[in-house]
Amino acid sequence: MGYLIGLDVGTTGVKGVLINESGKIISTDFQEFPLLLPRPGWAEQHPEDWWAATVRTLQNLTAKARISLKALKGLSLSGQMHGLVCLDKRARVIRPAILWCDQRTTAQCQSITRIVGATQLIRLTCNPALEGFTLPKLQWVREHEPANYKRIAKILLPKDYVRYRLTDVMGMEVSDAAGTLMLDVTKRTWSMALLKKLDIPLDFLPNVHESIEIAGKLTPSAARSTGLPSGLPIVYGGADNTCAAVGNGIIEEGLVAVSIGTSGTVIAPTKNVRRDRLGRVHTFNHSVPMLWYLMGVMQAAGLSLKWYRDHFGAVEKAMANYTGGDAYDYFSKEAERVPAGSRGLIWLPYLQGERTPHLDANARGVLFGVTTHHTRAHVIRAVLEGVVYGLRDSLEIIRAMRVPIREIRLTGGGAKSRLWRQIQADIFNHEVVTINVDEGPAFGAAIIAGVGTGVFRTFKEAAERIIRVTDRISPITAHVPLYDRYYRVYCSLYKQLKSSFAQVARIER
């Protein structure tokens, strides 16, 4: 029996998963590292912290598993997207990494769009310039830290830096490179036209590979640090979104993943490159060779319910602490007492602005339609429904782009609630399913390691061996037309409030 390791270099820590060839989880480990917030809207981390957490995670994984290290077949990585790691000619880190959630680059996004042209930018990279992407961060360093910019010999993404420390090989793979805003997503290679327009040296960028290629082997030095065997094959891996998709079996057109975590995502693979001309959904490269995916993102999905819990759920939190239960379970039971539609109460989940479909950092959360008839239970259910209306925005765009939707798989914390699953089925007007695995991107990275090293011949073989549907929920017929009517109201509210959101943002400045 062989074993595989998947590592996810996330925003809060490194998650490691060790599985066998049947997909059974043998051990897991998670090691935190600090998040630096030097100024409002800024977010940075020290790459050395990623490496230290990686070493501890790998040591713990094998210690917990108690397996023969000779049985390890390969390791692969997932990671937070978009983060900028700047290295000098001796591969030393020049400054702390600027992360995906950093918001300092609005001016650089505007400059990139002006120089390249909004239409041309989407044609070249399939995406608009957003603060989260890597390219605006690189431009910010050029403009605000010219001395650091002059020292740059190579830039990497977070997981690519960790892989470099494991192998001494610098490289990037297509699914993560797609989020730099410098990749020709269609051709799966760097966009020379874009780099020339912005005067960015090609030498800054490492060679780009497919996710399943072997990047190199574990060096003797890294082997001594981690406790893994020297020479272990290290596979390139993928961005956290594609690794999560792989871990959920979303590896072919027709399968769609809807995730409610802190944020919410809708991921739909496509065999052909499809662009939304308005840039409302992203088009990125999948970790499956010659497959792409569309992705809609909402900022405050599970965060909406967490915000409610933290500020208005003191009783439920206390009960959970006393009983060992979960405050969210109490919320679900309370929300079940009121009818679908919450008697006209509608939640706009724009607590941190919104990406899909509005691309509006000024958007605000709104509880609309409050009357004396409404109770806490109505508010809780309205929050659950409002999040799903926001996810439906992404599905509607994807449907309009003629991407087939055969099966919708639910994942993330929101998939644990039976009520929230039913609300999704009703508002989407589509059967939804859950599967037997919900270990996140690290699990998908382990599968990529298996495909890359030949443990699995294909992604399809891996999915058939490991993944199975455990639950199916169909829409409640009577709820579908009611939710359709409320969804139209939900959509109209943003249009009517957009100028007010902007006005409030100006006052706050």
pLDDT in tens, 238-273: 999 999 999 999 999 999 999 998 889 999 999 999
Give the rounded distance of the alpha carbon of 283 from its chain centre.
13
> Which residue type is seen at 303?
L
What per-residue confidence (pLDDT) applies to 9? 96
Query: For residue 101, what pLDDT is reported?
Result: 85
Closest of 384, 388, 351 to residue 376, by C-alpha: 384
φ and ψ at 79, to 5 degrees? -165, 160
Residue with tokens 């690290």: 442
Q: Which residues are catalytic?
A: 240
Q: Transcribe 130-147 into DSSP letters.
A: -TTSHHHHHHHHHHH-HH
Q: CA-CA distance, 465 to 451, in Å (whole number)? A: 13
Is the CATH number 3.30.930.10 carried by domain 3-248+437-470? no
User: What pLDDT was estimated at residue 129?
Assistant: 94
Average pLDDT, the chain: 95
For 449, phi then psi, to 5°, come to -60, -40
Residues in the chain predicted with pLDDT less than 50, given as ranges, are none
Q: Check for a shared fold between 3-248+437-470 and 302-435+477-508.
A: yes
> pTM of the prediction?
0.91
Q: Rounded distance, CA 276 to CA 296, Å?
A: 11
Residue 63 CB burial class (10 angstroms; 0-12, 13-18, ≥19): exposed
Prior bond to 40 cis, omega within 30? no
* Domain spans of the chain, in order of start: 3-248+437-470, 302-435+477-508
Round to whole Å and give the CA distance between 149 and 152.
Answer: 5
Residue 402, burial from CB neighbour count under 10 angstroms (0-12, 13-18, 19+): exposed
Residues with Cβ within 8 Å of 444's Cβ and at least 6 positions away in sequence, in order, are: 6, 78, 238, 242, 243, 244, 245, 246, 247, 248, 287
Please give the CATH architecture assigned to the domain spanning 302-435+477-508. Answer: 2-Layer Sandwich (3.30)
| Predicted pLDDT at 273 | 94
Q: Which two tokens stand for residue 482?
A: 């009611």
